[in-house]
Amino acid sequence: MTSSIQTSTASEVVQKATLAKQAAPRLGMLSTEQKNKALLLMADALVAESASIIEANAEDLRRGQENGTSSSLLDRIALNEDRIAGIAEGLRQVIDLPDPIGDMLEQFSRPNGLHIRKIRVPLGVIGIIYEARPNVTVDAAGLCLKTGNAVVLRGGSAALYSNKRIVEVLHEALGRSEVPADAIQLILDPNRSSVDEMLKLNGLLDVLIPRGGHSLIQNVVKNATVPVIETGAGICHTYMDESAQYDMALNIATNAKVQRPSVCNSMETLLVHESFAKQHLAAVANHFEALKVELRGCTTSVELVPSMKLASAEDWDTEYNDYILNIRVVQGLDEAIEHIRQHGTMHSECIVTENAEHAARFLQEVDAAAVYHNASTRFTDGFEFGFGAEIGISTQKLHARGPMGLPALTSTKYLVSGSGQIRG
């Protein structure tokens, strides 16, 4: 029913989403070979056109400097030959992933003779709303193409010239393939209104995936009428149980906190069993302070380690993504689980224990996308799980939960074969 929407006066968003929707049926019928050939052409074209992409990127950087964009953001936007080669390599890795489209998930026959098959099909048209990093433009386009989906990309305006040139290059490559170039659409309108429009594009977009910071994701979740796959936010905990091995516990907590503090699967709060704390908290605190991690403790923690500042009520619900760590001493497993229930975001939670029964209870009772026993929460990641792609980590319970592999970009349909059956 797109016809009613398709008019010459339609906005850029509606026009491009309509083109994507028109391309979608053909995409869904492409063979794995046809899609892989296009991915290879895209990867080669990005490398061959590095110079023009870097030139466009330089324009983004120039404007960013004029507008006083932070150097850390400029660094995320910046492209060079190595980065472009890395982005192209990412596309080549997608070629090697199994194509989920057409997989038969179930088949069964009914007493009336109907034969029913359930098969994987593309979602159709996926809208991706993201921030600065231009590599997302290529990653998203490649993953959507591999799964037979058309994609409407709306990247941050800070990388507009880079994204524009990248998509031109991808379109040129698709022009030499059997994949319709309309499969990849980039919204050029830098105004917030083009995002707002995408959020309400039911009938043209089948799903929206926001990729970026908390405010971007919350804007999409709160305002979209198109179904959304929510990704990102993580207030993750590590619980050192009474029977935890000290070295293992410290090693896991250190990895979860400082290996990459800025990401969603890093630790924000350390929970420590009271008897373990009496024995080890001082050493744990010294260790993190030596790593320049600011510690904010509960009253008991502060009594045990006076150098710690007292945590505020808000601290327990804050995703720092920084060298800051909350520490709370708990009486035992139940209090640890209850704290996580109250303050967690159902992303990734860890128990370090030698007590098998406690481990089993923690894994069952803690409600999160990924629950760990004696391993760092940092492993919640598509590559670490062996999915070979990074679509994002779903923090909702519908459709996909946790690290998303290619199947998260698919739907299903039932094929029903009969011989004249009617319903009685």
Nearer to a second copy, 145 or 173 (CB): 145
Q: Residue 294, class by beta-carbon neighbours within 10 Å (0-12 exposed, 13-18 middle, 19+ buried)?
A: middle
Based on CB atoms, which residue is closest to a second copy, 235 or 308? 235
Is residue 396 at the binding interface for a second copy, with CB under 8 A as the rule? yes
- Determine, following the binding rule CB under 8 A, whether residue 388 of this chain makes contact with a second copy: no
Residues in 331-350 at the binding interface with a second copy, rule: CB under 8 A: 341-343
Residues in 14-33 at the binding interface with a second copy, rule: CB under 8 A: 25, 28-29
3-state class (DSSP) for residue 340: helix
227 near a second copy (CB under 8 A): yes
| H helix or E strand, kind and range, residue 82 | helix 81-96
* Paired sense of beta strands 104-109 and 115-122, if any: antiparallel
CB of 228 to a second copy, least distance (A): 7
168, 319, 365, 390: residue in contact with a second copy (rule CB under 8 A): 365
Given strand 125-130, what is the order of strands in its sheet? 184-186, 150-154, 125-130, 207-211
CB of 237 to a second copy, least distance (A): 13
Phi, psi of 231, deg, nearest 5: -130, 160
The CA distance from 79 to 372, in Å, is 36
In the complex with a second copy, the residue whose CB is nearer, 165 or 343, is: 343
Q: Of the candidates 378, 329, 351, which has an alpha carbon nearest to the alpha carbon of residue 243?
A: 351
User: First CA to last CA across the chain, in angstroms?
Assistant: 32
Three-state DSSP state, 168: helix
Q: Which one among 238, 402, 404, 406 touches a second copy, defined by CB under 8 A? A: 402
Distance in Å, CB of 117 to a second copy, minimum: 9
Binding residues among 145-204 for a second copy as defined by CB under 8 A:
202
Q: Is 418 in the site for a second copy (CB under 8 A)?
A: yes
d(CA 108, CA 385): 31
Site for a second copy in 114-133 (CB under 8 A): 114, 116, 121, 123-124
Task: Give how far Cα 269 sits from Cα of 19, 257, 343, 376, 380, Å.
Answer: 47, 9, 10, 13, 17
Shortest spacing between CB 68 and a second copy, in angstroms: 34
- 415 scored as a contact of a second copy (CB under 8 A): yes
CB of 56 or CB of 346, closer to a second copy: 346
Quote the least distance from Cβ 121 to a second copy, whole Å. Answer: 7
Q: How far is the CB of 330 from a second copy (least distance, A)?
A: 16
Taking CB under 8 A as the criterion, which residues in 235-254 touch a second copy?
245, 248, 251-252, 254
